[in-house]
Amino acid sequence: MALDILERSQKKNLSIEYTRPTLSREDLKGVLECLVEDNLSTGQMVEKFEKNFAHTFKYKYALSLNSLTSAYHCALTALGVGEGDSVLLSDIAPIAALDAIFLLKAKPVLVDIAKNSFHMDTEAFAKVVQEIVPKVVVLDHSFGSLVNAKNYSLPEGTFLLEDFTEAIGADSETISVGKQGSIALAGLNVESVITTGNGAMLVTADSELNTKMRSMITGRSKSRIQDLAQYDYNLIDYQAALGIEQLSKLGVLLERKRKIGITYLQAITTSQVETYFRNPTEDTFNRFPIVVPSKSYDETKRYFDSIQIGTMKTIQEPLHSILELNKSDYPNAERLFQKGHCIPVYPNLTKDNIQRIATAIRRIY
C-alpha cells in the first residue's frame, strides 16, 4: 500500500516543487478521527506515539513535544545548563538550538564545519575544548549525513546532546543513532521523514533525566520537581496520530529517499557539482545539498528556476552570522551557505522528475 502511495501518478506539472509532505489517506484518516472525537489535547494518541517511537528504534524513554526549540530547552535544562554555561555546537546547527541557549542565558560556542564535510572540524573542535570546558556539546546529523561521536573527545564532565532530526531511522553498523549522548532529540517538522506538522521527540536511557524532562511539561508527570518551571510544550493527539501513521511506513520512505540520493550521487560524479555525503549505504539523505563552485548562489538559483526545479538554501543562516561573529573564522560554513542549494529529494517524486533533476545536475557548467 505504501509503495502505491509513493508511486502514484501526480497531476501533470512541469514545475518540480522543492519539498512536498508525503501524506496518505491513512495519515489523514487518523487525524480526522481525532478531530471528530474532539481529541484536541494531549492524551492516549500522544502516549501511543511515544511508545511506538521508543519501540521502533529501541529507545528506553521517549517524550514528545510541540517544537524542536522546546526539545532543546528541556534537554539543556535537564543537563544542568544555566546562565553563563558554555554549549558547543556546529556553525550550521539548527537555529532552535541557539534559541534554547539564549533562553537559558548560556553561552554558545561555535565550531566551523570541516572542508568538504557537513560536520564540525575535529581539529578545530579539539582546540576549542582545550580552551574551554563546555557544559554540553551538541552533535547533529546534518542533512542526513551520519556523524560519529567517537570522532570528538569530550572533556570530563561534559554532556553530549545528539540531534538526530535528519537521521531518524538510520541504520548503521558503527553508529548508534540517537544513543550516542545522554539525551537525543529529533524534530518532526515538515522537512523531516516523519512529520507531525511541527513537534519533536526527546529520547534517553537515563531514568532521572527522563523524569526531569517530563516534569518540565504541563500534565506529563504525576509529581512536580520543586523549583523547576513547567511549560506548555505538549504535542496534541491529532499531531501524534499523524506521526503514528508516518512511523508505520518509515522503512519505505527511507528506502525511497536513499534510491533518489544515490541517483543524484551518480549524476554528480560526471559533473562539476559537489556534495559531501560519504556513506550512501548509511546516510539518509533527509535533504540533499549541492555546491556549485564555479557559480554564485544567484546564478545557480536562476539556472534551476529556468528549468522549473525548486531549490532551497542549505541553511537558513549560519549561527556565526546571527551572533555577528567574523565570517572569515568560519569559511567552510560560510561557503556552504553562500554557494549551496538543497535540491528536491522527497519520497513521492516521480521517476521522470528524479531523472530531470539528475540531468540538470550533469548540465551545470
* Encoded amino acid at 207, one letter: S
3-class DSSP state of 59: coil
Q: What is the pLDDT of residue 292?
A: 95
Q: What is the pLDDT of residue 12?
A: 54
* Encoded amino acid at 188, one letter: L
**β-bridge partners, 288:** 343
* Topology of the domain covering 25-248: Aspartate Aminotransferase; domain 2 (3.40.640)
Cell numbers standing for residue 326: 567574523
Q: What is the pLDDT of residue 6?
A: 45
Distance CA 291, CA 52 (A): 38
In contact, 265 and 273? CB cutoff 8 Å: no
Spatial CA neighbour of 201 closest among 246, 151, 147, 156: 246
Spatial CA neighbour of 75 closest among 174, 180, 204: 204
Q: What is the pLDDT of residue 245?
A: 86
Distance CA 185, CA 62 (A): 9
Q: Please state, as a whole number, how many other Cβ atoms lie within 10 Å of the Cβ of residue 3.
A: 11
**Architecture of 2-10+250-362 per CATH?**
Alpha-Beta Complex (3.90)
Q: What is the pLDDT of residue 7?
A: 43
What is the domain partition of the chain in residue ranges?
Answer: 2-10+250-362, 25-248
Q: What is the pLDDT of residue 262?
A: 97
Q: What is the pLDDT of residue 183?
A: 98
DSSP 298-319: HHHHHHHHHTTB--EESSS--H
* Residue-by-residue pLDDT tens, the chain, 365 positions: 444 444 444 455 689 999 887 666 665 666 666 655 655 666 788 999 999 999 999 999 999 999 999 999 999 999 999 999 999 999 999 999 999 999 999 999 999 999 999 999 999 999 999 999 999 999 999 999 999 999 999 999 999 999 999 999 999 999 999 999 999 999 998 888 888 889 999 999 999 999 999 999 988 877 788 788 899 999 988 889 889 988 988 999 999 999 999 999 999 999 999 999 999 999 999 999 999 999 999 999 999 999 999 999 999 999 999 999 999 999 999 999 999 999 999 998 999 999 999 999 999 97
Block residue for cell numbers 565550531: 111
CA dihedral 242, 243, 244, 248 (to 10 degrees): 110
Going by their DSSP bridges, the two strands 136-140 and 159-163 should be labelled as parallel
